[in-house]
Amino acid sequence: MGETAEKIEADILVIGGGPAGCWAAWNAAANGASVVLIDKGYVGTSGATAAGNTTTIYTRRGTAERAATVGQRVRLGHGFTEAERVERVLDRTLENLDLLAKWGYDFPSYEDGRPYRGMLRGPDYLRFMRQKLIKARVKVIDHCPVEQLLVSDGAVAGAVARFRRSGETLEIRSGAVVIATGGCAFLSGALGTHNLTGDGYLMAAEAGAVLSGMEFSAQYGISPAYSSVTKGVVYFWGTFSDEQGNVLTAPGDRQSVVASELIRGPVYAILDKASPRLQEGFRRGQPNIFVPFDRMGIDPFKERFPITLRHEGTVRGTGGLKIDHRSTTTVPGLFAAGDAATRQGMSGASTGGGGPNSSWAMATGSWAGEDAASYVRSLGANWRAREARTTNQRKTPSSPPSSDDLNSVVAQTKQQILPLDGGYFRNQESLSKASSILSDLWDDEAWRSGDRAKVREAEALIATSRWATESALLRKESRGLQRRTDFPDPNPLLARSIDSGGTDDIWASFQPQQKMSAAS
């Protein structure tokens, strides 16, 4: 493992400081565990939620509003959504939002003064959670990317990280680990996703963890061409047109119509269907959407503006680490939450968007903290005496580092995933070509001699791309975010989850037939 500058110990290590990680750390501490929360950025400002406001779902079980919400999730899930899991997620979300209010979080209010708990201001929310964790005696470590997990007799036993500023390593021994590292947006430039490169997937897979639903990662968000903001709610009130001003009227969902036209040429939008009252509500509720317009001097409600589609991957897609009905992965001592965990049971084969995803992060984060604490209690004091080894046994090449080589590898990886005519619309030829190129990039050792943190991000990008590609190859149908031009229709016989895993030897396989939902 090499020289370790510092060693620390905690009952539970939480990797990732977004909402899921913060809720995991708080619940673990509330259950009597000593906790370390570590992030490769700064807890409170890194990740997708910190970049803006996030909607939430605040409904009570048994109400018409709850029934409508669950029904929508099932309908959009293409046969994979589990209604009872959605109910449990929303139950826990309501509990957590009430807890935030009890703690003193400043929720906005309706005009009549009633508190409105369907929206959280991302930066305020995470800063508030950070202070709550510090008061709960959680040890928060910033700017320290985790490089690999430690294992002992098949169980996870901690991790090895490296401080960005000093380059010194940190060994953290723990009884359990929670992966809350977010998803992977493949460095597409979408707002708040630059540090979301699939790191948690890779380190978990090296420990033997299984992923699921990775073919449902092809989520793209509409964005102004000159902006990184992919919040799409306003575009429901938009009109889309080509460069000549011809309105796009082709059949199909909005995203696919835009994607098809973007492959041919520029696409424009104007938010001309929003009433004045709705326009005011958008500006109050999602102000960051309008910052780029204001800077450019454009009124998006009256003027056309160029748009693009930015890949949001598993940050808003579905795939991730396979978990049980709460948060336990397939590896003892390892738990997953938020975007790092597969959302198939919550969102099926489609994107969950803002509210379902933020609710998922709250619930699974809470369960991960509770379950990890319970697991550590079952170990007693024995975990402290365990012999541990690193999971990543790949040797670092001794050749001089080359940032050009590393940048080239990242660019080639993105080229296999991001383009609309290969990532959004897929077929056997494009997927097979991507599979071959990604395999060659993974097997090439030469570029791994650069900056260790950046190398690990590149490795995670490649690995995540390979799981998504192999799973997409296996699913010979179109369903939700899986769009196969050579298999344009859904196949009822393929309403089964695809698991994947491995690092050097990638694998993907269908799981046994699962019960189809009524709306499939």
HSE at residue 111, side-chain half, CA atoms within 13 A, is 2
User: Would you say residue 50 lies in a domain?
Assistant: yes
Query: Is 234 found in the same domain as 200?
Result: no
Strands (DSSP E) along 153-304, which ranges?
155-162, 169-179, 211-212, 220-224, 239-242, 267-270
User: Would you say residue 148 lies in a domain?
Assistant: yes
Query: Is 29 found in the same domain as 116?
Result: yes
3-class secondary-structure state, position 383 = helix
pLDDT given for residue 1 in this prediction? 43
pLDDT given for residue 520 in this prediction? 37
Query: Is 292 found in the same domain as 233?
Result: yes
The answer on pLDDT for 516 being more than 60 is no
Query: Is 356 found in the same domain as 326?
Result: yes
pLDDT tens, position by position, 273-312: 999 999 998 888 778 889 889 999 999 999 999 999 999 9
User: Would you say residue 518 lies in a domain?
Assistant: no
- Which of 244, 276, 311 marks a domain boundary? 311
CATH code at 261?
3.90.700
Domain count, the chain: 3
pLDDT tens, position by position, 251-267: 878 899 999 999 999 99
State the average pLDDT for the chain. 93
User: Would you say residue 513 lies in a domain?
Assistant: no
pLDDT tens, position by position, 91-114: 999 999 999 999 999 998 887 888
| pTM assigned to the model | 0.94
Q: At what angle do helices 452-474 and 403-417 cross, to 10 degrees?
A: 20
User: Would you say residue 507 lies in a domain?
Assistant: no
Residue type present at position 358: S
Residue 229 — φ and ψ, nearest 5°? -75, 120
Query: Is 481 found in the same domain as 452?
Result: yes
Region of poorest pLDDT, from 26-30, 116-120, 246-250, 448-452: 448-452
- CA atoms of 184 and 197, how far apart (whole Å): 5
Report which of 510, 501, 311 is spatially closest to residue 424, judged by C-alpha positions.
Answer: 311
Query: Is 230 found in the same domain as 211?
Result: no
User: Would you say residue 503 lies in a domain?
Assistant: no
∠ CA(311), CA(426), CA(229), 5° rounding? 15
The answer on pLDDT for 515 being more than 70 is no
Q: Which residue has the higher pLDDT, 393 or 199?
A: 199
pLDDT tens, position by position, 462-493: 999 999 999 999 999 999 999 999 999 999 99
Query: Is 278 found in the same domain as 267?
Result: yes
State the DSSP H helix or E strand holding residue 283, giving kind and residue range, or none if neither. Answer: helix 276-285
In the chain, % of residues over pLDDT 90: 83
- Which of 363, 390, 417 marks a domain boundary? 390
- Which of 286, 311, 336 marks a domain boundary? 311
Residue 88 — φ and ψ, nearest 5°? -65, -40
Range of the domain at 415: 403-498
Query: Is 302 found in the same domain as 270?
Result: yes
CATH code at 487?
1.20.58.100
Distances (CA, A) of 187 to 103, 339, 471: 36, 16, 21
Q: Which residue has the higher pLDDT, 122 or 177?
A: 177
- Contact in structure between 59 and 89 (CB atoms under 8 Å): no
CATH code at 141?
3.50.50.60
User: Would you say residue 397 lies in a domain?
Assistant: no
Query: Is 108 found in the same domain as 79?
Result: yes
Query: Is 319 found in the same domain as 174?
Result: yes
pLDDT given for residue 306 in this prediction? 97
User: Would you say residue 509 lies in a domain?
Assistant: no
pLDDT given for residue 344 in this prediction? 96
CB atoms within 10 A of CB 487: 18
Report which of 394, 380, 216, 455 is spatially closest to residue 314, judged by C-alpha positions.
Answer: 216
Residue 331 — φ and ψ, nearest 5°? -115, 130
- The band of 271, judged by pLDDT with boundaries at 50, 70 and 90, is very high
- CA atoms of 46 and 52, how far apart (whole Å): 11
Query: Is 101 found in the same domain as 187?
Result: yes
pLDDT tens, position by position, 379-415: 998 899 999 999 976 665 555 556 678 999 999 999 9
pLDDT given for residue 105 in this prediction? 94
Query: Is 224 found in the same domain as 201?
Result: no
HSE at residue 225, side-chain half, CA atoms within 13 A, is 12
- CA atoms of 249 and 268, how far apart (whole Å): 13
pLDDT tens, position by position, 130-168: 999 999 999 999 999 999 999 999 999 999 999 999 999
